[in-house]
Amino acid sequence: MADVNFKAEDGDDRPVGPGGRLVREPLSERDSPEAPYIELLFFAYRDFISDPDAVLVAYGFGRAHHRVVHFVNRHPGIRVADLLDILKITKQSLGRVLKQLIDGGFIEQVQGPQDRRQRLLYPTEAGRALALRLIAPQERRIGAALDLLSPDERRGAEQFLKQIIDAGERDKVARLIGR
Amino acid sequence: MADVNFKAEDGDDRPVGPGGRLVREPLSERDSPEAPYIELLFFAYRDFISDPDAVLVAYGFGRAHHRVVHFVNRHPGIRVADLLDILKITKQSLGRVLKQLIDGGFIEQVQGPQDRRQRLLYPTEAGRALALRLIAPQERRIGAALDLLSPDERRGAEQFLKQIIDAGERDKVARLIGR
DNA sequence: AAAATATGTCAACATGGCTGACGTAAATTT
DNA sequence: AAATTTACGTCAGCCATGTTGACATATTTT
């Protein structure tokens, strides 16, 4: 408990703690008109991620593995540097999970044909199978959501998400996802 | 490198590793028609989260603190149990960050007036100020995205996110966000 | 020949999840 | 009144995944 403690009903003459007086009013609609969207994004992502999480435990993998498996399957032959740019993590973080996926036989590295310094990443058949298992429940979830929307509304969902992406990243992402 | 290694150009008679043959074809549009939406959600969330992250480092806090500060400010007097249900984490995980926020003077606990076992959570003035600083860049980001959408399209964005939430959670979330 | 690039690796550290066990005060049930 | 349940806190330890910094190697570019 905080050292400044008191009953909830004892009004305005309460002691003032180190952080100032207590605030009893919720963040107003004026302070944060978009709060519902902010929170929807949080809740949607929370549940969206929970589907593949359940699959991953069976393999002893985590979310980091999921991301790598996903993008390697979507872009077979992707360079390590490009994967790092997509995930926005350090090569040390990637290296750890990548090694496990290679050791497990889900991904293989192929020396780049032009530039032999490159290690192009390809899924194995097992890697492809894993990717499909991971994406299946998300397909269902997204598909069911889109089924309820009109064409205009779908466009809205897509545009909204695109505009939330950093301006400097939008073109790259658009190319990546093929839109 | 994987023990099974070879040049990228040497065709179909390649050795078969423990995960099966290499797969060179991208995940097809048929396998995953909603892949663009899946990835948009990933990229949007990635960047959406990066705004408050920058603010948090100045306080020595992380994303876990952000979530707690946010929901306590949106619902002053929230019970610990309800916060756990929103965040879907364990009380041990919450306890750690909550203690730091209380010690730092950003949140205070008040004994429940009816049920004195409860510790109702309130932001201090400092806690409110932090919440406002954290939400400001997200407000701008979301606001700018919504500005580009028609009413129909906005509805689409909102409905899409709502439908991605677990069916059993939707009503609770709707009440929570006031929609 | 020198410099830059693509990648890998070692060591150490921080955050924030988790489980399991146990404790305490207060409310509820019997 | 006693027993049980509930709300919350806490200790200890583990794991996944992010970080920085330094250094190594092979290859390409200058």
pLDDT at B2: 40
- My answer on whether B43 and B117 are in the same domain is yes
> How does residue A8 score in pLDDT terms, banded at 50, 70 and 90?
very low
Least confident of A5-9, B10-14, B126-130: A5-9
Cβ-defined contact of B50 to A165 (cutoff 8 Å): no
Residue B5 falls within a domain, yes or no?
Answer: no
Residue B178 falls within a domain, yes or no?
Answer: yes
| Statement: residue B5 has pLDDT above 70 | no
Protein-to-nucleotide distance from the CA of B113 to the C1' of C27, whole angstroms: 13
Q: What is the CA radius of gyration of chain A?
A: 23
- My answer on whether A154 and A83 are in the same domain is no
- My answer on whether A89 and A125 are in the same domain is yes
**For A87-114, what is the mean pLDDT?**
98
> How does residue A13 score in pLDDT terms, banded at 50, 70 and 90?
low
Residue A92 falls within a domain, yes or no?
Answer: yes
> How does residue B13 score in pLDDT terms, banded at 50, 70 and 90?
low
d(CA B122, CA B76): 5
- My answer on whether B40 and B125 are in the same domain is yes
Residue with smallest Cα–C1' gap to D12: B92
- My answer on whether A69 and A58 are in the same domain is yes
**For B107-121, what is the mean pLDDT?**
98
| Statement: residue B129 has pLDDT above 50 | yes
Whether A88 contacts B47, CB under 8 Å: no
- My answer on whether B159 and B97 are in the same domain is no
- My answer on whether B158 and B76 are in the same domain is no
d(CA B137, CA B154): 20
Residue B76 falls within a domain, yes or no?
Answer: yes
Residue B26 falls within a domain, yes or no?
Answer: no
- My answer on whether A166 and A102 are in the same domain is no
Instruction: List CB contacts (< 8 A) between A142 and chain B.
Output: 34, 37-38, 164
pLDDT at B83: 98
- The model's pLDDT over B20-71, given as tens digits with 9 standing for 90+, comes to 899 999 999 999 999 999 999 999 999 999 999 999 999 999 999 999 999 9
The nucleotide minimizing the C1' distance to residue B95's CA is D9
Output the CA torsion A27→A29→A33→A39 (10° steps): 50
Residue owning tokens 């309820």: A148
DSSP chain A: --SS--BTTS-S-PPPBTTBSB--SPPPTTT-TTHHHHHHHHHHHHHHHHHHHHHHHTTT--HHHHHHHHHHHHSTTB-HHHHHHHHT--HHHHHHHHHHHHHTTSEEEEE-SSSTT-EEEEEBHHHHHHHHHHHHHHHHHHHHHHHTS-HHHHHHHHHHHHHHS-GGGHHHHHHHHT-
d(CA B27, CA A130): 12
- The model's pLDDT over B83-112, given as tens digits with 9 standing for 90+, comes to 999 999 999 999 999 999 999 999 999 999
Instruction: List CB contacts (< 8 A) between A22 and chain B.
Output: 76, 108, 110, 122-124
**Which of B6, B16, B160 is the best substitution to test chain A (most A C-beta atoms within 10 A)?**
B160
Choice between B82 and A1, residue whose per-residue pLDDT is larger? B82
Protein-to-nucleotide distance from the CA of B6 to the C1' of D25, whole angstroms: 19
Q: How many domains does chain B have?
A: 2
Where in the sequence is the domain holding A163, given as residue range(s)? 150-179
- The model's pLDDT over A74-84, given as tens digits with 9 standing for 90+, comes to 999 999 999 99
pLDDT at B10: 41
Footprint of strand C on the protein (CB under 7 A): A 79-81, 91-92, 95, 98-99, 109, 112, 115, 117-120; B 60-65, 67, 87-90, 92-94, 96-97, 114-117
- The model's pLDDT over A135-179, given as tens digits with 9 standing for 90+, comes to 999 999 999 999 999 999 999 999 999 999 999 999 999 999 998
- My answer on whether B67 and B104 are in the same domain is yes
- My answer on whether A79 and A167 are in the same domain is no
Residue B25 falls within a domain, yes or no?
Answer: no
- My answer on whether A121 and A50 are in the same domain is yes
- My answer on whether A113 and A45 are in the same domain is yes
Residue B36 falls within a domain, yes or no?
Answer: yes
| Statement: residue B138 has pLDDT above 80 | yes
| Statement: residue B8 has pLDDT above 50 | no
Q: What is the CATH number of the domain that holds A39?
A: 1.10.10.10
pLDDT at A18: 80
pLDDT at B118: 98
Residue B158 falls within a domain, yes or no?
Answer: yes
Choice between A4 and A129, residue whose per-residue pLDDT is larger? A129
> How does residue A14 score in pLDDT terms, banded at 50, 70 and 90?
low
- The model's pLDDT over A23-62, given as tens digits with 9 standing for 90+, comes to 999 999 999 999 999 999 999 999 999 999 999 999 999 9
| Statement: residue B7 has pLDDT above 80 | no
